[in-house]
């Protein structure tokens, strides 16, 4: 370890007249310069050390700690040899983010208080604050003109380099993981777009015509039969991929339209979307009537988990189609209707032409889905460019921080 440097005895002019006597010592090990200062009505130690302004590796700013000791200055925790100004002991720091603006007083932010008992503080009196600021500005001007300032800044940067390297590695790893994920999304999106273009160019053969009337058994979530209903297909592939069923049975009657999942992003949609009644949302007709209650609603099942007459056990609750009715649909009515809907959805997914129905829906959606996919691709490419640039910048920072250690 090198021997401690000999103090440099100097005098510095104060901005408003008078001089500041200084015993200055620089530490090549920490990059800190210690200024023991005294003048009339002021005595104490100012520790000057490089300060990072905007996450740069070589600190661009400078900070002054009042009193001896390692940074940072802790609130309510006095330090040895804090400046005493006009008989007032001052605790705190001063920061200069733009040293080239010195000696302008506004270039320095002095954050100082007078410590009291029980974590109490009070403001520094104006006369003491003015003299302290003059001393700080004079010391910082000397710091800026030091022949060894660049060496001290480099020393401070090297001390901080291990932390900078660790942070850069962590951030770079996260950025590279995000970049890998975006590239995988891009690959999948490009595959989907290619498939959509293929679907749009090749209309599928028509699905089967409406089937004969059949009797359908519907069960509760435990597989216990609740009843049977006659089911008649009143429309197939209108709209594409959809089958409309008319259901008649004890205490229930009405229509249900079932097609592939409406909001699927897959080129060929799977899942199911169930709509109670026929027609547009604002002009429904033949809505199901169960236990004397007309029901309104639907069910979207995006999962690839197979639908059975007893699964899933619960569905979205239906509401009353009568806008004047305020009572909720009874539990028993909901459970009976859920059993019917599950049985119909399972019947739909087990059709021999289900693949053709899904392709018909895919063909009808292909143009809109292709447009949405191209927009998604543009966003993903933009995100990929940002992440690539970010990763490159982080790699550069890591290289520069590592170079500081050599």
> What's the pLDDT tens digit per position in 353-406?
999 999 999 999 999 999 999 999 999 999 999 999 999 999 999 999 999 987
Sole residue written with tokens 């010592």: 25
Contact, 320 vs 296, CB < 8 A?
Answer: yes
Q: Tell me the C-alpha distance between 317 and 335, whole Å.
A: 9
C-beta atoms surrounding 293 within 10 Å: 20
Can you give the length of the chain in residues?
406
Distance of CA 287 to CAs 244, 296, 319, Å?
12, 7, 11
Q: Tell me the C-alpha distance between 293 and 312, whole Å.
A: 23
pLDDT given for residue 304 in this prediction: 77
What pTM was computed for the model? 0.71
Whole-number CA gyration radius for the chain: 39
Q: What is the mean pLDDT of residues 313-330?
A: 89
pLDDT confidence bin for 2, thresholds 50/70/90:
very low
59 token code pair: 């600190």
pLDDT higher than 60, residue 243: yes
Q: Tell me the C-alpha distance between 354 and 165, whole Å.
A: 57
Q: Tell me the C-alpha distance between 93 and 82, whole Å.
A: 10
Q: Comparing C-alpha atoms, which of 299, 301, 313 is closest to residue 222? A: 313
pLDDT confidence bin for 5, thresholds 50/70/90:
low
With a CB cutoff of 8 Å and minimum separation 6, the contacts of 281 are: none
334 token code pair: 């909901």
174 token code pair: 């996260």
Q: Comparing C-alpha atoms, which of 130, 6, 110 is closest to residue 66? A: 110
**Concatenated DSSP letters of 259-281:** ES-TT--SSS--SEEEEESBS-T
pLDDT given for residue 118 in this prediction: 85
The helix/strand/coil state of 43 is strand
Main-chain phi, psi angles of 255, to 5 degrees: -115, 150
242 token code pair: 């959809």
- Give helix 149-201 / helix 126-145 axis angle, nearest 10°: 90
Sole residue written with tokens 């359908």: 216
Q: Tell me the C-alpha distance between 222 and 339, whole Å.
A: 11
Bridge partners of residue 278, in order along the sequence? 285
Interior angle at CA 313, CA 307 and CA 316, nearest 5: 90
User: Residues 70-84: pLDDT tens digits?
Assistant: 889 999 999 999 999
Q: What is the mean pLDDT of residues 216-231?
A: 95
C-beta atoms surrounding 265 within 10 Å: 14
Max CA pair span of the chain: 109
pLDDT given for residue 287 in this prediction: 95
How much is the mean pLDDT over the chain? 93
Extended beta strands in 289-331, E state: 289-290, 293-296, 298-301, 319-320
Q: Tell me the C-alpha distance between 195 and 356, whole Å.
A: 16
pLDDT given for residue 305 in this prediction: 85
Q: Tell me the C-alpha distance between 242 and 305, whole Å.
A: 20
E strand or H helix at 274, and its extent?
strand 272-276
With a CB cutoff of 8 Å and minimum separation 6, the contacts of 16 are: 134
To the nearest whole percent, how much of the chain has pLDDT over 90?
Answer: 88
pLDDT given for residue 146 in this prediction: 94
Q: Comparing C-alpha atoms, which of 277, 271, 286, 281 is closest to residue 257? A: 277
pLDDT given for residue 319 in this prediction: 92
pLDDT given for residue 9 in this prediction: 95
Q: Tell me the C-alpha distance between 142 and 35, whole Å.
A: 10
pLDDT confidence bin for 4, thresholds 50/70/90:
low
Chain-centroid distance, C-alpha 61? 31
Main-chain phi, psi angles of 404, to 5 degrees: -60, -30
pLDDT given for residue 71 in this prediction: 87
Q: What is the mean pLDDT of residues 121-137?
A: 95
pLDDT given for residue 1 in this prediction: 38
Residue ranges of alpha helices (H) inside 202-279 are none
175 token code pair: 């950025």
pLDDT confidence bin for 303, thresholds 50/70/90:
confident
């Amino acid at each position: 370890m090198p021997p401690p440097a000999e103090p440099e005895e100097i005098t510095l002019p104060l901005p408003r007249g008078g001089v500041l006597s200084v015993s200055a010592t620089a530490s090549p090990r920490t990059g800190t310069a210690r200024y023991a200062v005294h003048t009339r009505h002021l005595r104490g130690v100012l520790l000057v050390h490089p300060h990072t302004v905007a996450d740069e590796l070589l600190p661009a700013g400078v900070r002054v700690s009042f009193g001896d000791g390692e940074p940072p200055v802790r609130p309510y925790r006095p330090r040895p040899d804090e400046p005493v100004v006009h008989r007032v002991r001052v605790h705190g720091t001063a920061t200069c983010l733009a040293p080239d603006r010195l000696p302008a007083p506004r270039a320095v932010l002095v954050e100082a208080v007078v410590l009291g008992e029980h974590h109490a503080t009070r403001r520094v009196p104006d006369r003491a604050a003015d003299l302290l600021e003059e001393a700080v500005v004079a010391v910082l001007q000397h710091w800026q003109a030091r022949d060894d300032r660049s060496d001290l800044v480099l020393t401070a940067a090297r001390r901080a380099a291990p932390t900078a390297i660790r942070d850069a590695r962590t951030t770079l790893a996260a950025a590279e993981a995000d970049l890998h994920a975006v590239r995988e999304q891009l690959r999948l999106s490009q595959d989907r777009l290619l498939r959509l273009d293929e679907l749009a160019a090749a209309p599928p053969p028509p699905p089967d015509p409406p089937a004969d009337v059949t009797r359908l058994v519907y069960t509760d979530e435990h597989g216990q039969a609740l009843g049977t209903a006659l089911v008649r297909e009143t429309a197939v592939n209108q709209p594409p991929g959809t089958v409309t069923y008319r259901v008649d049975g004890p205490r229930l009657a009405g229509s249900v339209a079932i097609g592939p999942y409406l909001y699927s992003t897959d080129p060929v949609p799977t899942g199911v979307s169930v709509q109670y009644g026929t027609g547009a949302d604002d002009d429904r007709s033949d809505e199901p009537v169960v236990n004397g209650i007309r029901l309104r609603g639907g069910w979207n099942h995006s999962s690839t988990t197979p639908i059975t007459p007893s699964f899933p056990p619960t569905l979205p609750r239906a509401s009353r189609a009568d806008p004047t009715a305020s009572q909720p649909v009874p539990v028993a009515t909901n459970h009976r209707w859920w059993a019917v809907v599950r049985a119909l959805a399972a019947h739909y997914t087990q059709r021999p032409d289900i693949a053709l129905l899904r392709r018909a829906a895919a063909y009808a959606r292909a143009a809109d889905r292709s447009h949405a996919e191209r927009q998604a691709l543009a966003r993903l490419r933009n995100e990929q460019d940002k992440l690539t640039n970010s990763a490159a910048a982080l790699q550069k920072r890591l290289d520069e921080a590592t170079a500081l250690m050599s």
